[in-house]
Amino acid sequence: MAECRPNAGRFFWGLVLIAVGVLFLFDQLGTLDFGDIIGTYWPVVLILIGLSMFLGGGLRKPVGALIFILLGALFLLQNLDILEYSLWHYLWPAAIILLGLWLILKPSFRTKGGGQAPVIKESDLDVTCIFSGQERKVQSAQFKGGRMTAVFGGCEVDFGGAGLEGGKATVEATAVFGGVEIIVPRDWHVVLDGTPILGGVSDERRQPVSSAEAKATLYVKGTAIFGGVSVKN
């Protein structure tokens, strides 16, 4: 499939050039005014760029393509006098929608030399704090994985007395206008995959051990939106 993408892109932009050439031809024949068409429909170029990004593998990273398509659609609707208000009236709701789509469609765990992160199949931990706070101690000797979410609140999870099934596990931590703090034993290795959006995802452990010296490895997938996710020991 990967070999088809360059051909698909050339075919796509070839059709675009043919369409532009046809418009120039009609302009030369006096059938239409190419300048007026460009003045009104120039946002179509943004939409075409977004579609081209999808053809070039944007399904793996769809947000950039969606931004071009959405902006092009909004500008086009404004030029056609379909939008009742100014463009800026619609941009911030569109940004929130894109953020939600990105959270849903974002790539799976990315590791850098830390091995393969185990998939969360059985959740031994499911903590959600909304306008509240929680402190949780994990005592399971065979912890399999879990999720922590803080929305306008905070949660602290302490793995000090826990063990990991097979020596490794994955946790997902999401903080939206809130904070998630993960406390791990000193002999654990942590692989952190952080996605901060006007927030912070940090590894604040003192004297962290290497993967070769570690008793277990915890994979942390942290997303912070106007909030923070931190790992400590």
Which domain range does residue 130 map to? 125-232
- Residue 51 in any domain: the answer is yes
Domain end marker among 55, 73, 105: 105
- Residue 155 in any domain: the answer is yes
Give the residue carrying structure tokens 């008793």: 215
- Residue 199 in any domain: the answer is yes
Contact 176, 152 (CB under 8 A): yes
**Residues 195, 136 share a domain:** yes
> Which CA distances in Å does 28 have to 19, 21, 39, 41, 163?
14, 11, 17, 19, 76
Q: Is the pTM of this model over 0.85?
A: no
pLDDT at 185: 92
- Residue 171 in any domain: the answer is yes
**Residues 151, 86 share a domain:** no
Q: 22 by DSSP, 3-state: which?
A: helix
Report how many domains make up the chain.
Answer: 2
| Two structure tokens written together for 27 | 């302009």
List pLDDT tens digits, range 102-120: 666 665 565 555 567 777 7
**Residues 52, 20 share a domain:** yes
List pLDDT tens digits, range 122-153: 667 888 888 889 999 998 888 988 999 998 88
